[in-house]
Chain A
Amino acid sequence: MDLFELLNFYVIPGIVLGSIYALGAVGITLIFAILRYAHLAHGDLATLGAFIALAAVTSLGISPLAALPVAILATAAIAVGIDKVFYNHLRERPKIVTVMASLGIALMVRSVVQVVWGVDTQTYTRGIVRPDDYFGLRIRDREIYTVVAMVLLVGGLQLFLTRSKWGKAMRAMSDNPNLALLSGIDNKKVVMLTWVIAGGLCAAAGFFLGLNTELKSMMGWHMLLPMFAAAILGGVGRVEGAVLGGLIVGIAEELSVLVIPSEYKAAMAFAILLFMLIVRPTGLLKGKVL
């Protein structure tokens, strides 16, 4: 196998998949850091976002990329709503209660998707897209969109977290929640903001998975483990770590096909997750210890 074959068939798809994981992992890491629980409905929320984009494409007749902002806004609103209706009531209870509740939300969201859109495989656009040739590298437009969108969204989030007052308040709440309250930071607003961001990124993750593969009601659920592996690999609470983790998990999954049967691709994320938890639970970039 030559270098271009390795890049074209394994590394480039790995980067694209990794970018999708990164979008989800950033939300997971933020929820972990600020709300302090593992959000198991993250994958299914991504599925919902992907299908909302599909609804926008089919009913409004807009292009998939134009449907992305619609899906982001709608999913962000739904995430805030889910928090208000369900998780908010469990805030004072042990965190494991919320983790279990989020598993219930995952099933509910998936059922809604299955009832509304059915269980069949769907796509945003019909037909086969042939990759363009860039000096021997074969890349599809949608793959470029995926990586660029990930960089823009996460870069924008980083700017927000480091430059704006409310972004800093989110970091403060993650850093030292008691002191944040003593400083008069309104934790309800920070929680809401966290859900807006996590929900929006979820929709983007689902959308790009759908754009690069197909839409299925289980698509997000299957992404949950890799997204968690990415968040923990990068270091919980570290946005840039989640991106790094996402890319590593994505590339590792694609490369694993070289040595193990492709049906076991998903086991790669699990192996990375297990390895990190044993060897370096703070993640690559020093994050919170779980």
Chain B
Amino acid sequence: MRALLSMENLTGGYGDADILHDVTLTVAPDEIVVIVGPNGAGKSTAMKSVFGLLTIRGGKMRFDGEDLTGWAPNRIVQRGICYVPQVDNIFREMSIHENLEMGGFLKKGDLSAAYDRVYTLFPDLKERRRTMAGSLSGGQRQMVAMGRALMLDPKLLLLDEPTAGLSPRYMEQIFQICRDVRDTGVAILLVEQHAKQALAFADRGYVLAAGKNRHEGSGAELLADREVAEMFLGG
């Protein structure tokens, strides 16, 4: 299987301290990959490393056959990776529609096809397109955040804990939308705190602990693994 994104032996962190140690990870063009692990395992850091948001001291990052290591965020966006941070991921004082418009800022020409695509995925947003994003519920904000990131037709979508603080109903909805997004040909790499649910829905998963790879495999394999189960069942 050809890898869209591959992280090879990545070592790095913020400032002088390394948080990631030799992390290796791949994402294929049409799959949902989840990173799980205990608190402080470096899950979000691993994701931010894709986006050049930390200092990388070793290893390589390749995307679609190109070495991305050390690129500036705006260049990475243009290359086809969009990132949804865990918090502060919407423009609160702008309408839903304006949030999407900002998501498509780099796109030249007509945005209507991109709007259509996002509104098809999130019909709730279309009805409320003039509403200020800051007045929406947590689940709807997450949809705006994902919609904004999808405006540039990325090849890879990075989601940092998209279900944090959401009710089970919204969690299921977000997961379903992730599948719909994947089915339109966008690969997804996400970090999840709700490990069991996430592994059950993702195509593949990586278990990270203390900034290192621990386990990898399909969601079902990881769920069946005793060591992994212990890690998440309070072991």
Task: Give the interface SS of chain A, mostly helix, strand, loop or mixed.
Answer: helix
Contact B74 A168 (CB under 8 A): no
Interface size range of chain B in the complex: 20 to 34
Q: Is B106 an interface residue (CB 8 A)?
A: yes
Which residues of chain B are within 8 angstroms of A178 by Cβ–Cβ distance? 85, 88
- Judge if B164 is at the interface, Cβ distance under 8 Å: no
- CB nearest to B133 among chain A residues: A175
Q: Which of B74, B90, B98, B101 contacts A179 (CB 8 A)?
A: B90
Instruction: Compute how far the CA of A186 lies from the CA of B102 in the bound complex, rounded to whole angstroms.
Output: 12
A89 lies within 8 A of chain B by Cβ:
no
A165 contacts B94, CB within 8 Å?
no
B148 at the interface (CB under 8 A from A): yes
Q: Does A138 contact B (CB under 8 A)?
A: no
Q: Which residues of B contact A175 (CB under 8 A)?
A: 91-94
Q: Of the candidates B77, B98, B101, which one forms a contact with A184 in the assembled complex, judged by CB atoms under 8 Å apart? A: B77
Residue among A172, A176, A182, A186 facing the most chain B CB atoms (10 A cut-off): A182
Complex alpha-carbon distance, A265 and B23, angstroms: 66
- Please tell me if A181 contacts chain B, counting CB pairs below 8 Å: yes
Which B residues lie within 8 Å of A182 (CB)?
51, 73, 77, 82-83, 85
Contacts of A165 in B (CB 8 A): 101, 105
A contact residues around B105 at 8 Å (CB): 165, 169, 183-185
Tell me the complex Cα distance, A183–B152, Å: 9
Interface string of A157-173 (1 = CB under 8 A from B): 00000000100110110
* Given A179-B85, A182-B77, A182-B85, residue A171 in contact with residue B93 (CB < 8 A): yes
Closest Cβ of chain A to B156, distance in Å, is 14
Is there a chain A Cβ closer than 8 Å to B103's Cβ? yes
Interface residues of B (CB under 8 A from A): 51, 73-74, 77-78, 82-83, 85, 88-94, 98, 101-103, 105-106, 148, 152
A168-B102, A172-B94 known; 15 new pairs, CB 8 Å cut-off, are A165-B105, A168-B94, A169-B105, A171-B94, A175-B91, A176-B88, A179-B85, A179-B88, A179-B91, A182-B82, A183-B105, A183-B106, A184-B74, A184-B152, A185-B105
Residues of chain A whose beta carbon lies under 8 Å from any beta carbon of chain B = 165, 168-169, 171-172, 175-176, 178-186
Sample (22) of A-B pairs whose CB atoms are under 8 Å apart: A165-B101, A168-B101, A169-B102, A171-B98, A172-B98, A175-B93, A176-B92, A178-B85, A179-B85, A179-B88, A179-B90, A179-B91, A179-B102, A181-B73, A182-B73, A182-B83, A183-B77, A183-B106, A184-B73, A184-B78, A184-B106, A185-B102
